[in-house]
């Protein structure tokens, strides 16, 4: 099959969110009007083939592994039923779960030398760190542990474009499948925003001055499969990835206009209309205005049906676009419509990405 003939469909979804430790619980809580910003207690151990690896996983990695495992189960893809060398992993994340205790030894400095002497500062930190700290906190550990636990030996990478990383992971994974680099990819995002250092960083950036910015945490992973392969095994399909584009401009307005326009053009070439848009910005006023203006520019007076989930789930940073995409795919599969849906993501420095999903028959 030529690469140009290949396309990607979503056959499995797994998630861990503040409203539930799985997809069904999250959706029921959303429907009931639930709202939360921290994931309830969940046990990742049932999802681990190698439980000893738990000590090498930070919180975002544990959520990602659980979500990826649930996506495999949801897709009815048992071990041994696929070529592990053709199963890839691409997860968006913003980095490590740096905790205050990691710096406590250096901060507790009675001589105040650490503030001026970098060598002394480093020595105090390293002498107090867990010897396994680096293996837990390297940025690529999220994707690495998903691959190890689920025996995915295909292409593997990590996306670190902050708030749009989950969308870019899904989009780039689609390109892997289209190019023939993989037959299936576990793609999505995992992140933890409820950390002191995250709050401090965003406070310094002035984000909390622009509205009630509600940070949260979570993970969502989609199993993308090459459409022909999915059809051969009779897989249930949530939807097809019809379009993916990304851009970056100051403020994000023009970037969103570019990505949404690209998505519209691709879906129209496929004979589809777009009937719903999942919005990215619900908290920060500048970004909210930028997205509103971009939507008005692209869709004009006719407008489009708008939905959003972040007022209930909070902003889970890199994971937020993947959670949005997963929930939109569930709604798409259950709908009677024939149109496509768009999912926007927008970073506070102006990065944007738009994903388009259509029903599998398209």
Task: Work out the percent of the chain whose per-residue pLDDT is above 70.
Answer: 89
Helices (H), the chain: 23-31, 59-74, 100-107, 118-128, 133-137, 141-150, 165-178, 196-204, 227-232, 253-269, 285-299, 310-313, 320-334
Which pLDDT band holds residue 4 (cuts at 50, 70, 90)? low
Residue 166 near residue 320 (C-beta atoms within 8 A): yes
Q: Is 60 exceeded by the pLDDT of residue 1? A: no
CB atoms within 10 A of CB 51: 12
Does domain 7-98+133-232 fall under CATH 3.20.20.70? My reply is no
> Is 0.75 topped by the overall pTM?
yes
Residue ranges matching CATH 3.40.47.10 in the chain? 7-98+133-232, 242-358
Average pLDDT over the chain reads 89
d(CA 124, CA 137): 18
Of 27-31, 193-197, 221-225, where does mean pLDDT reach its minimum?
A: 193-197
Of 40-49, 183-192, 285-294, 313-322, where does mean pLDDT reach its minimum?
A: 40-49
- pLDDT at position 204: 78
Q: Is 80 exceeded by the pLDDT of residue 350? A: yes
Of 206-210, 214-218, 250-254, 335-339, where does mean pLDDT reach its minimum?
A: 206-210
- pLDDT at position 102: 59
Of 8-17, 83-92, 135-144, 341-350, where does mean pLDDT reach its minimum?
A: 135-144
362 CB burial (10 A radius; 0-12, 13-18, 19+): middle
- pLDDT at position 133: 73
The pLDDT tens digits for 250-282 are 999 999 999 999 999 999 998 999 999 999 998
Q: Is 50 exceeded by the pLDDT of residue 61? A: yes
- pLDDT at position 362: 42
* CATH assignment, 242-358: 3.40.47.10
136 CB burial (10 A radius; 0-12, 13-18, 19+): middle
Of 2-11, 55-64, 82-91, 238-247, where does mean pLDDT reach its minimum?
A: 2-11
């Amino acid at each position: 099959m030529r690469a140009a003939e290949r396309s990607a469909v979503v056959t499995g979804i797994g998630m861990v969110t503040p409203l539930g430790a799985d997809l069904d619980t999250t959706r029921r809580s959303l429907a009931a009007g639930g709202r939360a910003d921290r994931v309830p207690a969940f046990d990742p151990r049932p999802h681990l083939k190698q439980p000893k690896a738990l000590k090498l996983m930070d919180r975002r990695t544990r959520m990602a592994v659980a979500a990826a495992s649930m996506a495999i189960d949801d897709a009815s893809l048992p071990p041994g039923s696929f070529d592990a060398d053709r199963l890839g992993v691409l997860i968006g994340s913003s980095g490590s779960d740096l905790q205050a205790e990691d710096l406590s030894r250096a901060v507790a400095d009675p001589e105040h030398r650490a503030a001026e002497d970098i060598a002394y500062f480093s020595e105090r930190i390293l002498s107090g760190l867990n010897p396994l700290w680096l293996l837990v906190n390297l940025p690529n550990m999220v994707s690495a542990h998903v691959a190890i636990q689920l025996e995915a030996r295909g292409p593997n990478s990590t996306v670190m474009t902050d708030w749009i990383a989950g969308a870019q992971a899904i989009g780039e994974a689609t390109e892997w499948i289209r190019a023939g680099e993989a037959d299936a990819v576990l793609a999505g995002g995992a992140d933890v925003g409820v950390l002191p250092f995250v709050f401090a960083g965003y406070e310094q950036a002035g984000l909390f001055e622009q509205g009630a910015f509600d940070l949260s945490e979570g993970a969502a992973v989609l199993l993308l499969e090459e459409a022909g392969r999915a059809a051969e095994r009779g897989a249930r399909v949530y939807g097809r990835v019809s379009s993916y584009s990304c851009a970056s401009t100051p403020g994000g307005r023009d970037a969103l206009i570019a990505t949404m326009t690209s998505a519209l053009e691709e879906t129209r070439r496929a004979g589809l209309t777009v009937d719903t848009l999942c919005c990215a910005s619900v908290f920060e006023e500048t970004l909210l205005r930028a997205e509103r203006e971009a939507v008005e520019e692209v869709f004009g007076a006719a407008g489009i049906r708008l939905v959003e989930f972040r007022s209930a789930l909070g902003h889970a940073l890199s994971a937020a676009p993947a959670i949005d995409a997963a929930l939109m795919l569930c709604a798409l599969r259950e709908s009677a419509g024939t149109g496509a849906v768009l999912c926007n993501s927008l970073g506070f420095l102006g990065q944007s990405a738009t994903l388009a999903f259509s029903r599998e028959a398209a």
